């Protein structure tokens, strides 16, 4: 699987750990940065990962920042992205199974490197269930294209 991976300075250490974990599992990882703990702006990395996923250049994306929330907000601004915050393994599974999330965001302040590995493993191994969930996602996709009222 081809995975776009990014983080700001706060998520740098977990991103580095995740990259190694994913490569060891045989995934093709495109690391968009950051490359140090020097202060950076999370929207820059969220945009790069989200655009790769939206264009089909990556199968999915993983993003890490301090809380995971900023990355989620920024990534979700890109048409076709369904970014979800990792809170626990069950919620990560449901974001894929029910919401067909294509980007997972992780909060470095609240997640250990080992938990991040587990979240990534669950995210990458869970299939979308379709059915009634697809009907709901179709409605969500319509929202992206509705004119302002």
- CATH number for the domain spanning 86: value is 3.40.1400.10
Please indicate, yes or no, if residue 62 is contained in any of the structural domains. Answer: yes
The answer, yes or no, to whether residue 50 has pLDDT greater than 90, is yes
Cis check: omega of the bond before 50, within 30 degrees of 0: no
- Lowest pLDDT segment from 16-20, 105-109, 140-144: 140-144
**What is the tens place of the pLDDT at every residue in 21-45?**
999 999 999 999 999 999 999 999 9
Phi/psi for 14 (5° steps) reads -70, -40
What pTM was estimated for this model as a whole? 0.96
* Residue 122: how many other CB atoms lie within 10 Å: 20
Q: Give tens-digit pLDDT for 61-112.
A: 999 999 999 999 999 999 999 999 999 999 999 999 999 999 999 999 999 9
CA–CA separation, 56 vs 75, rounded Å? 15
pLDDT of residue 148: 74
Among all residues, which ones are annotated catalytic?
65, 98
Q: Give 106-140 pLDDT, tens digit per residue.
A: 999 999 999 999 999 999 999 999 999 999 999 99
Task: Evaluate if residue 149 carries a pLDDT over 90.
Answer: no
Is the CB of residue 45 less than 8 Å from the CB of residue 33?
Answer: yes
Domain count, the chain: 1
Task: Kindly provide the residue ranges of all beta strands, DSSP E only, lying in the chain, ordered along the sequence.
Answer: 2-7, 28-33, 60-65, 83-85, 103-107
**Containing structural domain, residue 66:** 2-143
Tell me: pLDDT of 46 over 80: yes
The answer to whether position 54 is within a domain reads yes
């Amino acid at each position: 699987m081809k995975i776009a991976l990014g983080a700001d300075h706060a998520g740098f250490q977990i991103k580095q750990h995740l990259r190694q974990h994913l490569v060891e599992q045989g995934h093709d990882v495109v690391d968009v940065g950051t490359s140090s703990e020097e202060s950076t702006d999370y929207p820059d990395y969220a945009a790069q990962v989200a655009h790769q996923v939206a264009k089909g250049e990556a199968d999915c994306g993983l993003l890490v920042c301090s809380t995971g929330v900023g990355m989620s907000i920024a990534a979700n601004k890109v048409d076709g992205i369904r970014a979800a915050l990792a809170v626990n393994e069950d919620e990560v599974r449901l974001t894929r199974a029910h919401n067909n999330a294509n980007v997972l965001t992780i909060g470095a302040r609240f997640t250990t490197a080992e938990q991040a590995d587990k979240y990534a493993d669950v995210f990458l191994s869970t299939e979308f269930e379709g059915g009634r969930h697809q009907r709901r996602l179709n409605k969500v996709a319509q929202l992206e294209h509705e004119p302002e009222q």
